Structure 1
Amino acid sequence: MKKKIITAAAALAMAVPMTAQIGTNPQWLDNAVFYQIYPSSYMDTDGNGIGDLPGITSRLDYIKSLGVDALWLNPVFESGWFDGGYDVIDFYKIDPRFGTNTDMVTLVNEAHRRGIKVCLDLVAGHTSVKSPWFQECANGDRNGRYSDYYIWTDTISQKDKEEIEARHRDANPEGSTRGRYVEMDAKRGKYYEKNFFECQPALNYGFAHPDPSHPWEQPVTAPGPQAVRREMKNIMAFWFDKGIDGFRVDMASSLVKNDPGKKEVSKLWNEMRAWKDRHYPQCVLISEWSDPAVAIPAGFNIDFMIHFGIKGYPSLFFDRNTPNGRPWEGQDISKEYKFCYFDKAGKGEVKEFVDNFTAAFNRTKQLGYIAIPTANHDFQRPNIGTRNTMDQLKVAMTFFLTMPGVPFIYYGDEIGMKYQMNLPTKEGSNERAGTRTPMQWAAGPTAGFSTCEPARLYFPVDTEDGKLTVEAQEKDPNSLLNFTRELVRLRHAHPALQGNGEWELVSKESQPYPMVYKRTAGGETVVVAVNPCDRKVSAKLPHIGKAQPLITTGKAVYKTGSGSDAVELKGISAAVFRIME
């Protein structure tokens, strides 16, 4: 989901106990590469212009050819489709647009037969107002099964009332995220608390510090919040028992209300992790928290470093002239980055990213994994604005697939699919529409995604006359697709490039181009150098040793000296070197 959330400050993060057990991550994660699929946009088999689960199953051989080890699917449960599947009606049922529960089991079995694991998206914080839980809660007995699954009150502050009035003055009040409460003529209460849109009532995990003057604020130990926890375990167990290998948890830090420092929500997830490890030790929990130093000690196997939370990702990839680089309402950018690093102009910096990543990595490397995705369903792809050539995208992909942690390739980024500007919103997409367009398999008006008329496509395609397709790039040994496959192969083949390998910047932050870092593990050392700018650059390095190139794009030379080494790269180039001594 689209969020403008700032996580707890570093000082508060330090207060969260590191209670996750060291060494309890499934071993397969250390060498894993994930592939994220937005199911509505991957492959349509029934000709209605919307992707489905049989479509994903039909493309598993292609996915296997990428070398990836696991899939993450955006929400596939029955939904009201106001927010791209994140308004869930029934967590135990596949949405009919995608197929059936049996179609999901078939997909899992076929993926497992190819050595690919499958993870789903768990919207743990809220449901749709169309959920039977919410309908029974709103209209049923106060002592019914679901009566305390949500947060209700008959009284709110004047300020909260003014927020409701302001939201109702918006052109599209149901699509506004403004305010905390929604007014409703319900037997259960006059107002319910929402998480995002009006149609997304917050599930009641309790309040870390209930206000005594607000009797509706239940403690986390109350029966309602405890019942919601059990329900989430039941949902996960239901799908784990059908072969699902893990969950990415949407808005994972937001469950417990009034929780400064995220202490209670961290306890909640440690409880969930202990339960999972006891019953499903090979399955994984992945958080959308974007504060790994808090999320991973809280019990997650993986946390993302993305477009919100700890700073760094935007300064690498979001040009200020692109949608995700523009300031949002009320944001002061006077002290923030001016130019993104991965741009041919070469005016960016790496300090913000390196400092924050290094701190998070050092605090979590014995506990879990940081994921730096190529993109996702909430923010723009690498192919955007002036970063639009295959050479530029190869440099970016070199970075994504040689950093520690667990890489996530967003579907289509392996062929350089564009972020399409100014698309009409659909199912709550807003500016996210441009990153949710159909997978481009072949030339043609529907890019091989569907047999429907082009006007019925979920979103339009833009193949650049067939160049940005799997079909074209399969035939080109120098394509981004085949370059990505080779990077994944190298990562699997070299322990230093895998998830637990050490990481150290060996170039200078003060001289950001090129960025050169060292990866070490199992007695092996690998040096990675990336130069996104369009001019020749060089960097003096501490002496590491003689180097053998493993993969290059553009031209790069590694020179070894007695007291120091140096690397030279032509404009828009990258290289991975193995140190031979």
Structure 2
Amino acid sequence: MSGRVRHAEASPRPSWLSSARFYEVYPQSFADSNGDGIGDLRGLTERLGYIHDLGCNALWINPCFDSPFKDAGYDVRDYTKVAPRYGTNDDLTALFEHAHTLGMHVLLDLVPGHTSEEHPWFQASSRPDPTERVTPVDADRTIPVESVTPVGQTTPRIASLFDPRRRGSDCETIRRVVQESDTQESVSDRYIWTDSWISRGDGLPFIGGETERDGTYIINFFKCQPALNYGFAHPKHPWQKPALGPEALATCEAMLDVMRFWLSRGADGFRVDMADSLVKHDDDGKPFTIRTWQYIFSRIRPEFPEAAFVAEWGRPYESMQAGFDMDFYLDWRWDGHPNGYNMLLRNTDTPLDHESDASYFNADSGTSIAPFLEQYLPQLHDCERASGTFNLITCNHDTLRVAQRLTERELKVAYGMLLTMPGCPFLYYGDEIGMRYRPLPTKEGGYVRTGSRTPMQWDADKPNLGFSCAPSESLYLPVDSAADAPTVASEAAREDSLFNWVREVLALRTEQPALASDARFDVVAAPVDGRAFAYIRTPADGHASTHPRTTADSSSAPAPAATRDDVSDRNGATARPLLIAMNPGRGIETVELPSELRPDASMLLALGSPTVSGRTLTLPAQSFAILG
């Protein structure tokens, strides 16, 4: 059995991902329930109905764990405690429970590669004698230290504590067990330390002179983020421990305990931050990081088979081998060279400039979809061969929002595609109303990203656009003060708004098995010298093969015929193939209807008055159509 199909054969992905439609929330900016100017978990819980009614049935919450917030929560001080500014562990458990009553799933953001410099592990590791075992002093401790098992050895005693029925003070007891089992073990090698205060980092970023320990320590990004020790692919110094050696496995076990803690409390999985960067000096293709994740998944999946894991990796050939269920098409643009996401939405070195933007959805760019497909299709194949998904995003917390650069009409065409492609769609909060990027001073290490993290805009008739009742100067970030700032209330009231378009597309995705994440995808039209793009989605149960075609056609030749015109969905209802077609340009485009489409197919959703005559679909300027 080859490594790349191991996950597909040994651990099928969670069944609920087939119909998942994700909404990403930056918790400090979504809804403030207590008037302190910062969004919180109770505010988010109160707004779950909004997310559900929009058409999303899954949630990704950016980091909400205890943190000094030097990198907006990606510097974790305690993995098993909710940051007080967001609420309590019970608040997060209540959010899980309410989401589940709505039929929604919740992913937490896991940062496995580094912690905050204030994490107890690092504080113990940086002592003059880091091999000394440290026992935390806690007069209210209810679990005797002698009953705690070392990290990674989950005995029935501790396993019984990971019981989702436990609430309140029991939750705090479990958290102490996890913390104490960590600190009872020596954490000398939990991080990567050199063997001298004057040692350099062998090409890795390092910090010296900050601790009592005689050595420098490796960091991942900011000074405040010491790298956790998952070992080196090819150790060449005594201080470099081997990948999957005892020290690295101890770190894996500590992270497994974090996963168990939250999965047992009701979390449905994790989005994993920088999942490809665990092992240092890894070879091309990340083989040692892949093996590390395979080890982690071999431990956690038997315990939580319906938990989902999405990688911030961006290379599905690797992430699927590692065992992840999903990967993202990330917003990467290096040295002026765009990736597929940039080709669609931001193909410019000056991100807010419309005129220089050569992205596909810019009506004036003249760009074909073919270059995007040349990148996208091979990566989609890699995911499908491993029964995984390759997900497209509208934006995220690290990406500049596109609303300044693309008009509302351009965004409608763009979201029509992004929300009907294979994989699980990820909608960033506020994108459904066209929230705009704002050039703001950095906040909590956000730098240029800060302007994509502003408060959600609910209602112009309420203070701070409905985000918070706090004084405006107390807000986490300022709200958009423009007179035309879009809000949920104003967009919902306007029949032809972007908001209502997104709701329509998501409603159709909810109803149609052909738009499931694992439904078949075939390119119908992608002319190199034209602007049209058309593809057919067919319910997965209708085919033995789920592999899409691998080339972007230079003509509008139809795809091969399906084996059946329609199949039945899980409820026995007829599930037809659907044709999705678009023209983001200024001219008129035509597409020949493929043979898979039934003769009685009707227009299910339309933008810009597309028409069908015989077997020809005519797409006026900036139009979009779904037929089935």
Task: Indicate conservation of the 8 Å contact 1:318/1:325, yes or no.
Answer: no
Counterpart of 1:394? 412
Which of 275, 284, 303 is the aligned partner of 1:279? 303
SS in 2 for 1:417: coil
Q: Considering only CA atoms, is the larger Rg found in Structure 1 or Structure 2?
A: 2
Question: In structure 1, what is the Cα distance between the partners aligned to 2:339 and 2:90?
Answer: 41
Q: 1:320 aligns with which of 348, 358, 363?
A: 348
**What's the counterpart of residue 526 of structure 1?**
578
Task: Give the aligned residue type for 1:259.
Answer: D
Q: CA deviation at 1:474?
A: 2.2
What is residue 235 of structure 2 aligned with on the other side? 210
Superposed CA deviations along residues 525-575 of structure 1, whole A, max 9, x for unmatched, are: 2111122223333345655544411111112123444xxxx3322222211
Q: Deviation string for 1:470-502 (max 9, x for gaps)?
A: 111222332222221221111121111111111
Q: CA RMSD in A?
A: 2.3
CA displacement 1:224-276 (0-9 Å, x = unmatched): 21110001100000000100000000000000111112111111212222323
Does residue 30 of structure 2 align to residue 42 of structure 1? yes
- For 1:32 and 1:382, the matched residues in 2 are separated by 24
Q: CA deviation at 1:16?
A: 6.1
Matched, 1:298 2:322: yes
Query: Which residue of structure 2 aligns with residue 257 of structure 1?
Result: 280
CA deviations on 1:412-462 (whole Å, 9 max, x unpaired) are 111111122x21110111111111011000005511000112222222222
Question: Aligned match of 2:474 in 447, 453, 456?
Answer: 456
Q: Would you say the 8 A contact 2:25–2:429 is kept in 1?
A: yes
Residue 377 (structure 1) aligned to one of 397, 406, 425: 397
- Say whether the 8 Å CA contact 1:324–1:379 is kept in structure 2: no
1:81 aligns with 2:69: yes
Q: Which amino acid aligns with 1:74?
A: N
CA–CA distance in 2 between the matches of 1:430 and 1:464? 22
Q: Tell me which amino acid in the other structure corresponds to 1:94.
A: V
SS at the partner of 2:577?
Answer: strand
What per-residue deviation string (whole Å, max 9, x for no partner) do you get for residues 47-70 of structure 1? 121101011011111111112111
Distance 1:104 1:338 in 2: 41
Which is worse superposed, 286-295 or 535-544? Answer: 535-544
Identity of matched residues, %: 39
- The yes-or-no answer on 1:441 pairing with 2:482 is no
CA contact (8 A) 2:370 2:526 kept: no
Secondary structure at the residue paired with 2:43?
helix
The letter of the residue matching 1:148 is D
Which amino acid letter does the alignment assign opposite residue 36 of structure 1? E
Deviates more, 1:19-28 or 1:72-81: 19-28
| 1:53 partner amino acid | L
Question: In structure 2, do the counterparts of structure 1 residues 276 and 557 end up closer, same or farther at CA, with 3 Å as the change threshold?
Answer: farther
**How many residues are aligned here?**
529
Q: 3-state DSSP class of the match of 2:581?
A: strand
Task: In structure 2, give the amino acid aligned to 1:78.
Answer: D
The one-letter code matched in structure 1 to 2:305 is P
Compared CA separation, residues 94 and 324, structure 1 to 2 (3 A):
farther
1:158 positional shift? 9.1
2:610 corresponding residue in structure 1: 556
Distance 2:319 2:260 in 1: 22
Unpaired runs of 5+ residues, structure 1, are 1-14, 164-178, 327-336
Cα distance in 1, alignment partners of residues 481 and 587 from structure 2: 29
For 2:55 and 2:517, locate their aligned partners in 1 and report how far apart those are by CA, in whole Å: 15
Aligned equivalent of 1:357:
376
1:341-356 equivalence runs, <5 A: 341-356=360-375
| Structure 1 residues 109-258: aligned runs within 5 Å | 109-144=97-132, 145-154=186-195, 180-211=205-236, 214-258=237-281
Alignment of 1:98-113 (within 5 A): 98-113=86-101
Residue type of the alignment partner of 2:627: F
Q: Structure 1 residues 523-532 or 424-433, which shifts more?
A: 523-532
Does residue 1:572 correspond to 2:622, yes or no?
A: yes
> 3-state SS of the aligned residue for 2:499?
helix
Q: Tell me the alpha carbon deviations over residues 93-139 of structure 1, each in whole angstroms, 9 at most, x when there is no partner.
A: 10011011111111111111111111100000000111111111011
Q: Provide the rounded CA distance (Å) in 2 between the counterparts of 1:381 and 1:517.
A: 26
Counterpart AA for 2:226 = P
Q: Is the 8 A contact 1:38 1:73 kept in 2?
A: yes
Report the counterpart of residue 426 of structure 1 in structure 2.
443
SS at match of 2:93: helix
CA spacing shift, 1:29–1:404, aligned 2, 3 Å: same
Counterpart Cα distance in 2 of 1:254 and 1:533: 40
The whole-number CA distance in structure 2 between the counterparts of 1:250 and 1:185 is 26
Residue 156 of structure 1, CA deviation = 9.2
TM-score, normalized by length of structure 1?
A: 0.86
Give, in angstroms, the shift of residue 283 of structure 1.
Answer: 0.9
CA contact (8 A) 1:120 1:248 kept: yes
d(CA) in 1 for partners of 2:618, 2:403 = 25
Q: What's the secondary structure of 1:530's corresponding residue? A: strand
> Paired residue for 1:10?
none
Amino acid across the alignment from 2:46: S
Q: Distance in 2 between matches of 1:267 and 1:395?
A: 40
